[in-house]
Structure formats: C-alpha cells, structure tokens
Structure 1
Amino acid sequence: MADHQRLRIHPMEGEAPPPPTTPLVPPGSSRSEKGVPLHHPPPLPRAMPAAYPTPHKRSSSCCCKCICWTIILVVLLLIIFAASVGILYLVFQPKLPDYSVDTLRISDLRLNFDMSLYAKFDVKITATNPNKKIGIYYEKGGKLSVWYTNTRLCEGSLPQFYQGHENKTVLNVSLSGQVQSGSTLMNALQQQQQTGRIPLDLKVHAPIAIKLGRLKLMKVRVLGECLLVVDSLSSNNLISIKASNCKFRLKL
C-alpha cells in the first residue's frame, strides 16, 4: 500500500510530466490571450548630445564672423581716409576763396507794356584765392544773381578761368532778367528808394575744381551771399554801396 501511494505521489522516471497550466492573463496585461508576449514598440532614438553643434548654429557662427570682418574693414578704411584728409589739410592748409563787390551799375530798369519788370545790372567783383599751394579752376555753369525781397531781378554767368596761388581776379559780369507782374515790385522799389537805403541780395553759385600740385580733384560748389545796401536804383548811374556783408561756403 505504501509502495502504491509512493508511485502516485512520485511518478516514475519514464512517465511524462503533466502539461503546464496556462495562467490567467488579467485585462490590460502585456501578453496576448494565448500567453505569447506582445511586441513592444522600438525605442526612440537618442537625442544628439549637446556637445555637437547643429548645422543651424554653424551657419549662424559663419554669418557673425563675416559681419565682424566687414565692420573691421570699414573701420580701417575710415581711419585711413581720415588720416589722409588730415595730412592733406596740414600740408596744404586750404582756405575758402573770397569775393567782394566793387561796383554796381543799373543799365536798365523799366516796366514793359505787358507789365513785366525788365532789369539789367553790371556788376564788378573781385575773386581772391588766398591759398599758397592750391589753384582753383572755375568751371562752366557759374551763376551770379541779384535778388530783392526773395524775387530774382536778374542773373548772369560767371566766366571759366583758372586762378593761381594767392591771386586776385577782377570779373565784370552783365546780369539781366524779367519779372512777371512787375508793377507791384516796381512800386515797392520806388518807395524804398525814397529812404535812400535799398536792400539787395547778391548770390554766387560757382562750381570749382581744386588743383593740388599737378593733381586736379573732384568738383565742388562755392555758394556765396552778399547782403548789400545801396542808395539808389537810377538807371545809367553808378550806385553807391553803403553796406556789404558776404558769407561763403563749400558744398560737395
């Protein structure tokens, strides 16, 4: 009896073991109903380490380098230009040309039948070049004009010539012009003439080129204005200039 119970409890070596029982899989488990494990999704790729720069950062770095080199180059060019200008200024010591109004004569001042005002002036001016090492070329297109209360009475052309170092040149310029609706202007001039002080504005516009040694530089413009006070506007008479105040400047 004991041997029979022993055989049932402990099977013999030739007897196959009982099949394994399938455990119950609770809902939501990672195994399928047949007990086969489900396939997990592949792992996500690792992020690129921060030690390696991205292509965007590389391109930004190249742009910054280009901008920095461009700024440095521009600054160097400005420094070289400023140094060159400073050296030229110390060597040549440039000065503005000067002008003075010597005489003013009215050849004609009258009202036409269409009530326009015709004026013809003859002006004698002296142009002075005070520079010791700089010559001045007076180019084509120079103008000289006479104004009264913001109205241009007449205008004339300046001659073309070269003015040497420390030279004075006397210029005789003939001016003429016509103003529409001149009756009002003529009445104002006649009333002003009774006071013996008539304000006139003489304007100079002269394109010039500077000569340094044998080098002829680019053109600049001399802009000048002379505020005159004359005693009369009588035709064919030499007018007395009671006051004169002239200012001049260069413009590129």
Structure 2
Amino acid sequence: MSIKDCGHHKDKKKKIIKRVLIGLGIFTALVLLIFLITWAILQPKKPRFVLQDATIYGFNVSAPVLLSSNFQVTVSARNPNSKIGIYYDKLDVFATYHSQQITYFTIIQPTYQGHKDTNIWSPFVYGTNVPVAPYNGVALSQDQSNGAISLVIKINGRVRWKVGSFISRRYHLHVTCPAYIPFGNKNSGIAGVVTGVKYQLAQKCSVSV
C-alpha cells in the first residue's frame, strides 16, 4: 500500500513540475511577444552624429615615419526617438588616415540621452610619435605641404536603449565621420599647419548599431 502511494506522489509531483514549466514558457513567450510588438510600434532609430568642427594644435610628420598630432573636435549626437532614451557606454574617439589609426583613444564619459535630446562633446584627439606605414607617411607629408588633409574621425562604443523602465542589452556603436581639414593656404604662401584655428566642418557621420 505504501509503495503504491509513493508512486502516486511521484507522478503528481512530475505533473506539477511539468505544468509550472509550461506556464513559465507561455509567460516568457508572452513577455517577448509584447516587447517585440512594442518595439515595432516605437520604431527605434539610430542616433545621428555630426562632426561640427576641428581645431588644429599640432601636426608633424618626422623620420622615421612618426606622426605627432593634437587637435580638438566637436561632435554632436542627437536622439531622434520620441519615446526611447539612449545610454552611451564607454565611447572611444580616435582618428584614422587611409584606414590606419594615427591617434590614441580618447574616452567620452558614459551618459544618458533623453528623448529628442542632443549631446555635444569636444574631446581632444592626439598622438605622440605614432608609427605610421611608410606609404602613409609620404602621403601625410604631401597632404601637409598641399595645405589640407582627409582624416576620418571614428567613435566606437556601446549603447543601450531605454523604453519606460525597460533597458535593453548593450549594442555595439560605430560612428564614422569624414573630415577634410585645411591646414593653410599654399597659394598665399602660408602652407603647413596653422595652429589654434577652428575649421567649421558640419559633416554628417555614418552610424551603425
């Protein structure tokens, strides 16, 4: 009699566990469905970045193909969403030339951006005796003597989306801003770097998340 009761209790426990698991599965599926529907209705948009200006404080190519540079850039980021906030986590700013990194990473402090808000950052981007590829060294020297250079300002980091009290997982953020920076006017005899001059760029950046 006791053996039969024990078996009955085991079967009952298995049924309860099975029902609980099924219930949890249904609940999880409903929560996920509600989130997806909400996400589709809100239609989240990527932040919009603009490279506003650049101020040159130093730019020098020396042997054996070493680059020392120091400039300040102004970047604006706008959240185009009316119901979604954005957390910017650990943003790194740096410059590249012909796909080669030529400055160190400059960190922008983490921040939260509300609905339709705009943030403006003005980080210094610099590098001291940074080795560059020989062919890039020649091109840099030529561009410097010509009075202008084409750089790319990049921002890499992570973002999180905030909808109500819900905060998403982290997503990788990649921002690419072309920057054509004039150094001087070779036609007037002023070639090379003119320091302390702010060049207005107003260049839209490409953003991928």
Does TM, normalized by the shorter one, top 0.5? yes
1:204-215 alignment runs, 5 A limit: 204-215=155-166
1:68-107 alignment runs, 5 A limit: 83-84=33-34, 86-107=36-57
Q: Tell me whether 1:149 sits opposite 2:108 in the alignment.
A: no
Q: Is this contact kept in 1: 2:50–2:204, CA < 8 A? A: no
For the aligned residue pairs, the C-alpha RMSD in angstroms reads 2.9
Residue 238 (structure 1) shift: 2.5
Query: In the aligned structure 2, how far is the partner of 1:156 from the partner of 1:80?
Result: 43
Query: In the aligned structure 2, how far is the partner of 1:198 from the partner of 1:111?
Result: 13
Residue 176 (structure 1) shift: 1.8
Q: Is this contact kept in 2: 1:101–1:125, CA < 8 A? A: yes
Superposed CA deviations along residues 121-173 of structure 1, whole A, max 9, x for unmatched, are 21111010011011111113x11111111221213112211110000111111
Q: Is this contact kept in 2: 1:136–1:164, CA < 8 A? A: yes
Q: Specify whether residues 182 and 153 from structure 1 end up closer, same or farther in structure 2 by C-alpha distance, changes over 3 A only.
A: same
Residue 97 (structure 1) shift: 0.3
Partner amino acid, structure 2, of 1:165: H
Superposed CA deviations along residues 7-26 of structure 1, whole A, max 9, x for unmatched, are xxxxxxxxxxxxxxxxxxxx
Q: Tell me whether 1:128 sits opposite 2:99 in the alignment.
A: no
Q: Is this contact kept in 2: 1:229–1:241, CA < 8 A? A: no
1:161 equivalent in structure 2: 111
Q: Is this contact kept in 1: 2:61–2:141, CA < 8 A? A: no
Query: In the aligned structure 1, how far is the partner of 2:175 from the partner of 2:114?
Result: 20
Q: Which has the higher helix share?
A: 2
Q: Specify whether residues 207 and 189 from structure 1 end up closer, same or farther in structure 2 by C-alpha distance, changes over 3 A only.
A: same
Q: Which has the higher contact order (CA 8 A, sep 6+)?
A: 2
Residue 91 (structure 1) shift: 2.9
Partner amino acid, structure 2, of 1:146: A
Query: In the aligned structure 2, how far is the partner of 1:221 from the partner of 1:112?
Result: 36
Q: Which has the higher strand share?
A: 2
Residue 106 (structure 1) shift: 1.9
Which ranges in structure 2 are unaligned for 5 or more consecutive residues?
1-25, 184-191
Which ranges in structure 1 are unaligned for 5 or more consecutive residues?
1-75
Q: Specify whether residues 242 and 97 from structure 1 end up closer, same or farther in structure 2 by C-alpha distance, changes over 3 A only.
A: closer
3-state SS of paired residue (1:218): coil
Query: In the aligned structure 1, how far is the partner of 2:61 from the partner of 2:111?
Result: 36
Query: In the aligned structure 2, how far is the partner of 1:170 from the partner of 1:243?
Result: 13
2:152 equivalent in structure 1: 201
Scaled by the length of structure 2, the TM-score of the pair is: 0.69
Equivalenced residue count is 173
1:100-115 alignment runs, 5 A limit: 100-111=50-61
1:228 pairs, out of 179, 184, 187, with: 179
Query: In the aligned structure 2, how far is the partner of 1:197 from the partner of 1:176?
Result: 18
1:249 equivalent in structure 2: 208
Superposed CA deviations along residues 35-72 of structure 1, whole A, max 9, x for unmatched, are xxxxxxxxxxxxxxxxxxxxxxxxxxxxxxxxxxxxxx
3-state SS of paired residue (1:94): coil
Larger Rg: 1
3-state SS of paired residue (2:68): strand
3-state SS of paired residue (2:205): strand
Scaled by the length of structure 1, the TM-score of the pair is: 0.59
Q: Is this contact kept in 2: 1:229–1:244, CA < 8 A? A: no
